[in-house]
Amino acid sequence: MNHDKRLQNLRSRLDDALLVTDLANIRYLTGFTGSSAFLLVTTDGGTFFTDGRYGEVAGAVVEALTGIDLQVHTGPVTDDIAQHVGEATVGLEAHHVTWDFARRLGEAVTGEVKPTSGLVSDLRRLKDADEVEALRRAAAAGDAAFAQIQQLASSVATEAELGRALISVMEENGGNRAGWEPIVAVGANASLPHHRAGESAIGDGLLLLDYGCVVDGYHSDMSRTVWLGGEPSEEASRMYTAVLESQEAGIAAVRPGATGREVDEACRAVLRSHGMEEYFIHSTGHGVGLDIHEMPRLSRVSDDVLAPGDVVTVEPGVYVPGSGGVRIEDMVLVTETGGEVLTTSPKGLVP
């Protein structure tokens, strides 16, 4: 991945200096994966700050970057940053820094400190070829886990055990780690979009899964809902048909120039026609990358305009309190002509 090019792209957007504190943004710009880092980027250079635990690792990272110096701090990092800033105006990532840190930095520097928004996240939206490849591999690991869902479901007793089994299969198929604790919801638990897998028994009936893994820092995200044992109930079949048609409409709406609200409405219109819109209680999707939730957003209020290189989820769902729910989710790469689905697991209420 060309981190120098990413830094140059960021510099072209700066008036003076930006202090990057979001670790995902720092990884995107430098490749550094540690837990302690501050990156000061100026129009013609910059400084990477870390503590003694990462001095050697950060040295190797910085050596590969043009115009970035390394500073291993032993005291307050705000003092070290101030020494390198001079009288420049410093932008802070407003979504990430605390008020206390901003106050301390403001007291340490002689120039102005001001909030900024989107300088790095806007660059991260459009994935390059290396990023797309990592996302494909992460998606493939998730698909490999779903391919074994019947075997896995029959070999465990509880939701929590099935969640752990999904993680194991993803790691066996190239996943570095789980992206989060898998959502595994049986029966009426499936009416809770973010149900936490517990001791509920795996048995006949609805099973909603939402899970993903990380490959080289990049996330996958997918959902499937299946019926285990016997014939699905009429209600489950009705919900599934509506959600599947909704998701198909949403995926078809993904294309360059479409807005997030247009994709969202494509999904909602189908559920409305089935009389189920009231049970769709979240947004349609979000960007995926180094963070599981990134820009752009697919929602009723999103004016984000899709462009080639965006990778988004399309994940409509319906949730009937006390009864159950259905969600179907795929990752979609925005191409020059439309969308390419990266998660390829089959869809069907009966697996």
Task: Report the C-alpha gap between 344 and 332 in whole angstroms.
Answer: 10
Task: Report the C-alpha gap between 20 and 70 in whole angstroms.
Answer: 14
251-280 as b/e: b if 16+ CB within 10 A: bebbbbebbbbbbbbbbbebbeebebbebb
Contact yes or no for 128/158 (Cβ under 8 A) = no
Mean pLDDT of 88-106: 95
Angle between helix 234-253 and 260-273 (nearest 10): 150
Contact yes or no for 3/42 (Cβ under 8 A) = no
Please report, rounded to a whole number, the percentage of residues in the chain having pLDDT higher than 70.
Answer: 100
CATH superfamily for 129-341 is: Creatinase/methionine aminopeptidase superfamily (3.90.230.10)
pLDDT in tens, 135-160: 999 999 999 999 999 999 999 999 99
Mean pLDDT of 52-62: 92
> What is the reported pLDDT for 178?
98
Contact yes or no for 85/111 (Cβ under 8 A) = yes
> What is the reported pLDDT for 186?
98
> What is the reported pLDDT for 86?
86
Mean pLDDT of 332-347: 98
pLDDT at residue 257 tops 90: yes
Q: Among 78-92, 231-245, 317-331, where is mean pLDDT lowest?
A: 78-92
Contact yes or no for 224/247 (Cβ under 8 A) = no
> What is the 3-state composition of the chain as percent helix, strand, coil, each rounded to the nearest 5?
40, 25, 40
Looking at residue 216, its amino acid is: D
Q: What is the dihedral of CA 289, 290, 294, 296, to 10 degrees?
A: -40
Mean pLDDT of 290-317: 98
pLDDT at residue 238 tops 90: yes
- The CB density around residue 35, as the number of other CB atoms within 10 Å, is 10
pLDDT in tens, 182-219: 999 999 999 999 999 999 999 999 999 999 999 999 99
**CA dihedral over 129, 133, 134, 139, signed as positive or negative:** positive
pLDDT in tens, 262-281: 999 999 999 999 999 999 99
pLDDT in tens, 113-133: 999 999 999 999 999 999 999
> What is the reported pLDDT for 1?
82
pLDDT category at 351 given cuts 50, 70, 90 is: confident
Contact yes or no for 162/153 (Cβ under 8 A) = yes
Q: Where do the CATH 3.90.230.10 domains begin and end in the chain?
A: 129-341
Q: Where do the CATH 3.40.350.10 domains begin and end in the chain?
A: 3-125
Tokens of 91: 């932008």
Contact yes or no for 299/190 (Cβ under 8 A) = no
**CA dihedral over 232, 234, 238, 241, signed as positive or negative:** positive
Helices (H), the chain: 3-11, 23-30, 55-63, 77-85, 99-108, 121-125, 129-146, 149-155, 159-172, 234-253, 260-273
Beta bridge partners of 208: 185, 225
pLDDT at residue 74 tops 90: no
Q: Rounded mean pLDDT of the chain?
A: 97
pLDDT category at 83 given cuts 50, 70, 90 is: very high
Q: What is the CATH number of domain 3-125?
A: 3.40.350.10
> What is the reported pLDDT for 338?
98
pLDDT at residue 97 tops 90: yes
Mean pLDDT of 84-95: 93
pLDDT at residue 307 tops 90: yes
